Amino acid sequence: MTKHIPNLVTLLNAFSGCIAVIFAVNGSLPMAAFFVCLGIFFDFFDGLLARKLNVQSELGLQLDSLADMITSGFVPGLTMYYLLEQTGNTTTLNLPFNDLTSINILPFFGFLITLASAYRLAKFNIDDNQTNSFIGLPTPANTLLIMSLPLILKYQANTTLINVLTNQWFLIGFTLLSCFLLNCNIKLLALKFKTWDFKSNTHRYALILIAILSLLFLKFTGIPVIIITYIIISYLKK
């Protein structure tokens, strides 16, 4: 029975992602972001439980990536689709069938994030060099970066931020940056605590402290700051 506990937590990640999809489809991106964060919480603890219970398995590895594909792959792509749709800019494609005569193809550009996430997760599953560190930005971190945009727009937006975050070229550039970070050849710190010893986890504790302070003082705009700090700390550790 014990060996199934981490997999059950992984399935809770997938379930949270499914709920996030429903909210995102209906345009309720803050609620989608909440369930994404809940899914990422489960994603963090399934691996921790597997290590503590000594029940790590190939099934768990594959199941984890499948759950991440929903929560940290499909949802951020769908969120970017919605944000691009809200810019009001259209690039139409005429269709010669049914009652649908044209379709705005610009929002579909957001699903490049989903494709890049799928590629990154597949690489992770067959790469033995990513046990103690990550090559490229992990999909949960990238998802938090994407989901911060609608949260900033809703709760912290001023005129400047609204003009930036609703600009189609900014969103397209952000999408391309996301795809690059997911699959770039940059070695990043893994947040897996094998022990709680401070000396061997200095960089991890520093990142956690900076993350807490950023969220306290900057709120949702602190999330991009955290991701940038994560990359910088990983580089300094290397």
Tell me what the mean pLDDT of segment 53-79 comes to: 89
| Cα–Cα separations (whole angstroms), residue 221 to 50, 83, 147, 148, 224 | 33, 17, 11, 7, 6
Tell me what the mean pLDDT of segment 200-226 comes to: 90
Tell me what the mean pLDDT of segment 76-105 comes to: 77
Would you say residue 160 lies in a domain?
A: yes
Tell me what the mean pLDDT of segment 157-166 comes to: 90
Q: What is the pLDDT, as a whole number, of residue 15?
A: 97
Q: What is the pLDDT, as a whole number, of residue 198?
A: 66
Indicate if the pLDDT at residue 191 is higher than 90.
no
Quickly state the pLDDT bin for 98 (edges 50, 70, 90): low
Would you say residue 19 lies in a domain?
A: yes
Structure pTM? 0.89
For 93, how many CA atoms within 13 A lie in the half-sphere containing its CB?
8
Would you say residue 94 lies in a domain?
A: yes
Would you say residue 35 lies in a domain?
A: yes
Is pLDDT larger for residue 163 or for residue 54?
Answer: 163
Would you say residue 93 lies in a domain?
A: yes
Indicate if the pLDDT at residue 164 is higher than 90.
yes
Which contiguous run of DSSP H or E holds residue 92? Answer: strand 92-94
Indicate if the pLDDT at residue 124 is higher than 60.
yes
Domain around 101: 2-186
In 3D space, the residue among 69, 54, 81 whose CA is nearest the CA of residue 14 turns out to be 69
Average pLDDT, the chain: 88
Indicate if the pLDDT at residue 100 is higher than 60.
no
Would you say residue 40 lies in a domain?
A: yes
Please say whether the beta carbons of 211 and 170 come within 8 A: no
Tell me what the mean pLDDT of segment 71-97 comes to: 84
Q: What is the pLDDT, as a whole number, of residue 230?
A: 92
Q: How many domains does the chain have?
A: 1
Would you say residue 24 lies in a domain?
A: yes
**CB burial of residue 47 (10 Å; 0-12, 13-18, 19+):** middle
Please say whether the beta carbons of 120 and 136 come within 8 A: yes
Would you say residue 207 lies in a domain?
A: no
Cα(186)–Cα(205) distance, integer angstroms: 21
Assign residue 25 the CATH number of its domain: 1.20.120.1760
Please say whether the beta carbons of 74 and 66 come within 8 A: no
Indicate if the pLDDT at residue 202 is higher than 90.
no
